Amino acid sequence: MAYLFRQKLNIEELSEPLYREKRILIYEPEYYLSALYGHYLRSQNFDIKPCLDLSQVRQAIFVFSPQLLIFSVDAFGSWLKLKPILQGLVADFPNLNVVSTGYDLNSDSIKELMEVGVAGHINRRLSRPKDLAVLAQALLNN
């Protein structure tokens, strides 16, 4: 009934929203981990596209249109190499949620990831692969 009191009628408000499949792009250079994450994410009905090569990530984002990017930070030797890549992705795709995964990042590195715009971080040493699916559900169901 709220539309009766507005000056303009928005016809989209009268219909049910269309179901949009939730898409996740996984950048993980290790094939086994990429397949393992994909398995758990598919079990939660996510549409998954693995990307094993960093040079293909931007093109995959344009073609696949994911809502979430899972980004492995282990492939980079230092924060100086990683920071401009993540800053560029977050700046170019502001509606894309980014979750990082990696081993043994110290608290300062995780703080810098969050300052760049990463929505969450999964420490591989302290978590299970299915924890990534739980985090994806929490981020994409809002």
List of domains in the chain: 21-140 (3.40.50.2300)
The whole-number average pLDDT for the span 96-103 is 92
Structure confidence at residue 60 (pLDDT): 95
| Residue 38: both structure tokens together | 């994909």
- Percent of the chain, pLDDT > 70? 85
pLDDT category of residue 11 using cuts at 50, 70 and 90: low
Give tens-digit pLDDT for 102-119: 887 888 888 988 999 999
Rounded CA Rg of the chain = 18
Nearest alpha carbon to residue 33 among 104, 97, 122, 117 = 122
Give tens-digit pLDDT for 60-77: 999 999 999 999 998 777
Q: How far is CA 76 from the centre of its chain?
A: 18
